[in-house]
């Protein structure tokens, strides 16, 4: 029995795009990440720079202001990884519109796409996001506490959504809710009556400006219910995005650590000469490569139209565990210096903690 294979050879377009994104990550994002984290605010110029790559425009029909190209989950995952090497937080913030566009292209009808997508057809940042998470310890995406109830020719939504990046700048949201024993999704405009947005001071991903949405009897017309909503597909494509964020940030952490352990001396020799240090760095490289390959395998299967649920779920489990291990070891390699804010290790560690809770946040 033959096994479907995946090819890691980049196309010419992917290679050129990756070079540009890595240049932005290296020259701009990485140097601005700390200031944005301190100010708890994304830099508008950086959001515009990332939006300028047009990742959200690619699958949009030309008639709606997009490019009209087939969506590539693999190319999107590579882009997320490259940008996250510069700053995981700005990447999550700037690519929320891409996730919202992908959700509407996958699950919406033509009328919904015509109503909502043109507002995002710009090279500058224009906000929209998927609101799936909820602020409770027992949260399960398949059993949301947020409810939708039939009301005349529409629905009323009640509940609280959390961890919504760039919520204050969003024009509309894709909100999931329980409806008749199943999970449905609705397009909700940001100015809907009964919808309030409250900024939340989270431990990490601070410049992503994450907030909570409170929905109190928000009336949504029946036409805004997504007719083809598939929760599993949303979660699986988002898992790939989360993994790409983790791989990019971990790669930056390792590349930052290697010169340090070679230059830092203890007892008259570089600490890299100590086996415990050398093995820790080597294990970082091994685990990052494993995380990357699992992420790419899931993305490649999604792109080929093959079932990728198992691959995406396993990739997420691997990245949740190993990203935190790499973040912890990065701080350990720097010793006391890893605990202070002069170095980015503690910021990367805080950001990587978010990988385990970003359900549905970055659909590639």
Domain assignment present for 19: yes
Examine the fold and report which residue of 125, 156, 189 is the final residue of a domain before the chain moves on: 125
Instruction: Find out whether 157 and 215 touch, Cβ atoms under 8 Å.
Output: yes
Task: Tell me what the pLDDT averaged over the chain comes to.
Answer: 94
Residue 294 lies in a domain: yes
Give residue-wise pLDDT tens across range 32-74: 999 999 999 999 999 999 999 999 999 999 999 988 888 999 9
Q: In this structure, are 314 and 334 located in the same domain? A: yes
Q: How many CB atoms lie within 10 A of CB 198?
A: 12
Same domain, 118 and 159: no
pLDDT beyond 50 at 1:
no
Mean pLDDT in residue range 248-273: 93
Please indicate, yes or no, whether residues 278 and 178 belong to a single structural domain of this protein: no
Answer yes or no: do 58 and 115 share one domain.
yes
Same domain, 118 and 141: no
Whether residue 208 has pLDDT greater than 70: yes
Q: What is the CA radius of gyration of the chain?
A: 21
Interacting residues of 33 by C-beta distance below 8 A, sequence separation 6+: 86, 87, 89, 90, 207, 344, 347
Residue 7 located in a structural domain: no
State the total domains in the chain.
3
For the entire predicted model, the pTM comes to 0.94
Measured CA angle at 353 (ends 348, 359), to 5 deg: 125
Same-domain check for residues 164 and 215: yes
Q: Tell me the CATH number at 190.
A: 2.40.110.10
**Domain limits for position 51:** 12-125
| pLDDT tens readout for residues 143-168 | 999 999 999 999 999 999 999 999 99
Q: Do 99 and 137 reside in the same domain of the chain?
A: no
Which of 224, 243, 273 is a domain's end point? Answer: 224
What pLDDT is attached to residue 297?
94
Res. 129: pLDDT tops 80: yes
Same domain, 77 and 143: no
CATH of residue 99? 1.10.540.10
User: Which pLDDT does position 4 carry in this prediction?
Assistant: 60
Asked if residue 339 and residue 272 are part of one domain, the reply reads yes
Residues 241 and 316 in one domain: yes
Same domain membership, residue 65 and residue 36: yes
Last residue of a domain, one of 104, 125, 146: 125
Distance set, CA 349 to CA 103, 200, 330 (Å): 29, 19, 8
d(CA 73, CA 94) in angstroms, rounded, equals: 17
- Which DSSP state fits 183? E
pLDDT in tens, 283-322: 999 999 999 999 999 999 999 999 999 999 999 999 999 9
């Amino acid at each position: 029995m033959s096994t479907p294979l995946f090819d890691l050879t980049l196309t010419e377009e992917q290679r050129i795009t990756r070079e540009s994104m890595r240049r932005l990550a290296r020259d701009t994002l990485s140097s601005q990440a700390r200031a944005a984290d301190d100010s708890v605010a994304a830099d508008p110029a950086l959001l515009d720079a990332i939006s300028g790559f047009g990742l959200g425009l690619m699958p949009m029909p030309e008639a709606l202001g997009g490019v009209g190209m087939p969506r590539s989950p693999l190319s999107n995952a590579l882009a997320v990884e490259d940008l996250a090497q510069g700053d995981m937080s700005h990447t999550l913030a700037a690519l929320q519109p891409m996730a919202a566009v992908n959700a509407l292209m996958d699950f919406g009808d033509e009328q919904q796409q015509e109503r909502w997508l043109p507002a995002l057809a710009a090279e500058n940042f224009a906000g929209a996001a998927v609101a799936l998470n909820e602020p409770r310890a027992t949260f399960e995406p398949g059993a949301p506490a947020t409810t939708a109830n039939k009301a005349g020719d529409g629905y009323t939504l009640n509940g609280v959504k959390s961890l919504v990046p760039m919520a204050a700048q969003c024009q509309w949201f894709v909100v999931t809710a329980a409806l008749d024993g199943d999970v449905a999704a609705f397009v909700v405009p940001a100015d809907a009556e009964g919808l309030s947005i409250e900024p939340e001071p989270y431990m990490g991903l601070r410049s992503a400006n994450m907030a909570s949405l409170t929905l109190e009897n928000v009336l949504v017309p029946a036409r805004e219910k997504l007719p083809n909503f598939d929760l599993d597909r949303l979660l699986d494509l988002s898992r790939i995005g989360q993994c790409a964020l983790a791989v990019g940030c971990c790669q930056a952490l390792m590349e930052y650590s290697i010169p340090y352990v070679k230059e830092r001396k203890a007892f008259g020799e570089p600490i890299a000469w100590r086996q415990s240090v050398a093995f820790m760095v080597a294990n970082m490289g091994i685990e990052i490569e494993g995380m990357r390959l699992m992420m790419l395998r899931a993305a490649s299967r999604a792109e080929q139209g093959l079932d990728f649920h198992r691959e995406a779920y396993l990739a997420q489990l691997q990245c949740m565990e190993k990203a935190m291990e790499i973040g912890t070891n990065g701080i350990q390699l720097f010793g006391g210096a890893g605990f202070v804010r002069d170095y980015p290790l503690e910021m990367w560690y805080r950001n990587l903690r978010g990988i385990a809770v970003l359900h549905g946040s970055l659909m590639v």
